Amino acid sequence: MSMSKPRSAKSSMTDQATDAIASALRTLEAEADGVTALAAALKSDLGPAFVAAANLITNAKGRLIVTGLGKSGHIGRKVAATFASTGTPAFFVHAAEASHGDLGMITPDDVILAMSWSGEQPEMKNLITYAKRFKIALIAMSADGDSTLGQAADVSLILPKAREACPHNLAPTTSSVMLLALGDALAIALLEGRGFTSIDFSVLHPGGKLGAMLKFARDLMHSGDAIPLRPLGTKMSDALVEMSSKGFGCVGIVDSRGLVVGIVTDGDLRRHMRADLMTALVDEVMTKNPKTISPSLLASETLEILNSSKITALIVTEGKKPVGIVHLHDLLRAGVA
């Protein structure tokens, strides 16, 4: 009588990993289906309400007050932060805390965005009553238009029903993703509608890597005597001294008007290596019409040019006149790269 061999620990771990990945894929597929259903709803019945909500927030004299509790509250905090960082003054008020004094944070000039999948949380009742009493515009984001919240709202953003990724259809998963996605969609629609630019964005994001990427070339460039420059007709020996002393691995070449017409880099030296290189003129060695950038170019765009061109430094010009130089190391020090 043969006996089956016991499963090895390695085989068991492999099965567990396979099961975990299969579970993760089911979750992602369920949540993706929810977002797909949301996109389809925006193209039909949800579309007009979405436009009405955007107009209501745009025309408000005050701020956008995002509220919710439970998982919807966590999503609401993030959505409020997204609105605020993209040009729509907004903050989050917890629906339960509102009844204990935080209603005083909401003024008649504000607009309330209440997020609740069911639309039936008891804690919302006092907030709804307050909004009605002081004629504060109320936008509901819910999956049930017939709910207490949906019926009380001036504008109801009704999300399509979707199955939670939770196998018991209980834990808020797909629903949370759909609330977040619709909140982000509304924030970006407002951003684009008011023409909010990257410069506006930089004012609100001065810190961290994002803040560094939103700096300008003028904030990072070396200027004055630090710029490696030599005129046309300069011997390569002199150009090499300038290149070495300034430490940027290049030297800009200017004409009699002071305009940048060329650049000599380490690569140019290798390509023109010959016995009489040091006595040759920069005119013969330089790369003509080099890439330059303006002082107002974002640091993130400067990094993109350096990477795509496979170079390490860019001369900053105004009307083709050199005003600075930016090196890849400057971007690294600033935290951009």
pLDDT digits (tens, 9 = 90+) for 259-318: 999 999 989 999 998 889 999 999 999 999 999 999 999 888 898 999 999 999 999 999
Q: Are residues 188 and 226 in the same domain?
A: no
Q: What CATH number did the domain enclosing 217 receive?
A: 3.10.580.10
Query: Is residue 204, in this structure, part of any structural domain at all?
Result: no
Instruction: Please state, in angstroms and as integers, the Cα–Cα distance from residue 83 to each residue in 52, 88, 180, following that order.
Output: 17, 5, 12
Together in a domain, 177 and 300? no
Amino acid found at 3? M
3-state secondary structure of 236: helix
DSSP code, position 85: H
User: Which residue, of 135, 166, 196, is where some domain finishes?
Assistant: 196
Pairing, β 229-231 against β 111-115: unpaired
Judgement on whether residues 297 and 226 belong to the same structural domain of the protein: yes
Residue 167 domain flag: yes
Q: 14 in a domain, yes or no?
A: no
pLDDT at 101: 87
pLDDT at position 204 is: 59
Tell me, yes or no, whether 94 and 123 share the same domain. Answer: yes
Predicted local distance difference test score (pLDDT) of residue 100:
87
- Are 166 and 312 in a shared domain? no
H helices of the chain, in order, are 9-42, 46-58, 71-85, 95-98, 124-133, 148-152, 174-193, 198-204, 208-213, 217-220, 236-246, 266-271, 282-285, 299-309, 328-334
Same domain, 189 and 220: no
Binding residues: 94
Question: Which residue, 196, 229, 255, sits at the end of a domain?
Answer: 196
For residues 68 and 178, membership in a common domain is answered with yes
In a domain, 155, yes or no: yes
Say what the pLDDT of residue 207 is: 55
Supply the pTM of this predicted model: 0.64
303-311 contacts, C-beta under 8 A, 24 or more apart: 303/213, 303/328, 303/331, 303/336, 303/337, 306/331, 311/265
121 and 47 both lie in a single domain: yes
Same domain, 102 and 154: yes
State the CATH number of the domain containing residue 78: 3.40.50.10490
Same domain assignment for residues 88 and 37: yes
**Domain assignment present for 153:** yes
The full length of the chain comes to 337
What is the DSSP code (8-state) at residue 319? Answer: T
Has residue 8 been placed in a domain? no
Q: What is the pLDDT of residue 194?
A: 84
**Cβ–Cβ under 8 Å, residues 316 and 295:** yes
Predicted confidence at residue 4, as pLDDT, reads 56
Give the domain range for residue 28. Answer: 20-196
Binding residues for Zn(2+): 94
In 21-96, the DSSP E strands lie at 64-68, 90-94
Task: Work out how many domains the chain is built from and give that number.
Answer: 2
pLDDT value, residue 206? 58
- The answer to whether the CB of 85 falls within 8 A of the CB of 112 is no
Task: Answer yes or no: do 189 and 224 share one domain.
Answer: no
Residue 181 lies in a domain: yes
Last residue of a domain, one of 196, 228, 243: 196
What parts of the chain have a pLDDT lower than 50?
Answer: 1
Q: What is the pLDDT of residue 188?
A: 94
Looking at the structure, do residues 98 and 175 belong to the same domain, yes or no?
Answer: yes
Query: What is the DSSP code string of 202-220?
Result: HHH--SHHHHHHTSBHHHH
Q: Judge whether 299 lies within some domain.
A: yes
